[in-house]
Amino acid sequence: MANGVSGRLYVVATPIGNLGDLGGRAREVLSSCALVAAEDTRHSGALLRHLGLSTPLLSVHEHNERQRAPELVERMRNGADVALVSDAGTPAISDPGFDLVCAAVAAGIEVIAVPGPCAAIAALSVAALPTARFAFEGFLPPRGAARRRRLEGLAAEERTLVFYESPHRVREMLDDCAAIFGSVRRAAAARELTKLHEKVYRGTLAELQACAAADADFCRGEIVVLIDGAPPAAADANRDLDRVLAELLAELPLAQAVRLAARVTGARANDAYRRALELQRESLSQ
Ligand code: SAM
């Protein structure tokens, strides 16, 4: 396309395990593009070889994406079509790609989705949890305290929650979820989707904790954890607590505001204290 017409950026989803899931259009685009921008050129090189393709590859990963973006934008401006792929699934979804997409859009380059596998959506489609509204949370912070803070902030979320998690941390994560959301909250864990040892665990958080303890395979391979949303009443109670705390914090010292808010709303003092700190942090960061 070296005729003065700008090239395009194709954002191409690739399989999350089963190579048979690569769509015909993805194959076509990977074959016709001038260049494949890949998170890991060795990994994507193997995929291209499997498809019988020899399209040149350029590495674009989380540490060089920003620096590489101008060079790739220039090549597209000069007419080259570029395909962006990550190691597995959909680029820019807990994977590199966001910066390049933004740079291309800012430069007026057409960005085209070539949709396909995405572990979050695949897991949601088989979890038997409500799908009408969901919140994709990606990876939780790896450290315990930060992870618990993030989960506490989600305790009243009514939409189905979807998390990516490392197999090494999934037991701790389930323990924290059970402690914060309650052990009877429904959940699912989808591991090794589309692969040989694919398995979906469904049950309460307590039942999933028991599976994780009893089944060594639970903590092997790749996993998506999904958690049912909070019942509306919990959401209402938390909203009440927030409203009362916000009013009291504007007038009173923290300890007094927390004591009164807990008394008025019936919330536990610890929950009111934690939420008061979060509200203070949020107002400072605004
Ligand atoms: N961009 C990818 C996508 O669209 O799904 C996600 C990449 S993220 C770095 C990798 C995480 O996705 C894994 O840690 C796991 O949580 C999830 N994942 C990827 N493949 C999976 C599979 N076959 N089964 C279950 N979870 C998977």
Pairing of strands 82-85, 9-12: parallel
So what's the pLDDT on residue 4?
Answer: 63
Q: What digits encode the pLDDT tens for the residues 91-114? A: 999 999 999 999 999 999 999 999
Tell me if 95 CB under 6 Å of ligand 1: yes
So what's the pLDDT on residue 237?
Answer: 80
Check whether 3 has a pLDDT greater than 50: no
Mean pLDDT confidence for 251-272 = 92
Alpha-carbon gap, residue 207 to 181, rounded angstroms: 14
Alpha-carbon gap, residue 104 to 164, rounded angstroms: 27
So what's the pLDDT on residue 2?
Answer: 41
Q: How far is the CA of 222 from the centre of ligand 1 (A)?
A: 6
The packing angle between helices 170-181 and 144-153, to 10°, is: 40
CB burial of 179-216 (b: ≥16 within 10 Å; e: otherwise) equals ebbebebbbbbbbbbbeeeebbbbebbeebbebbeeee
Q: How far is the CA of 263 from the centre of ligand 1 (A)?
A: 44
Q: In degrees rounded to 5, what are phi and psi of residue 187?
A: -155, 175
Q: How far is the CA of 285 from the centre of ligand 1 (A)?
A: 32
Q: What digits encode the pLDDT tens for the residues 124-154? A: 999 999 999 999 999 999 999 999 999 999 9
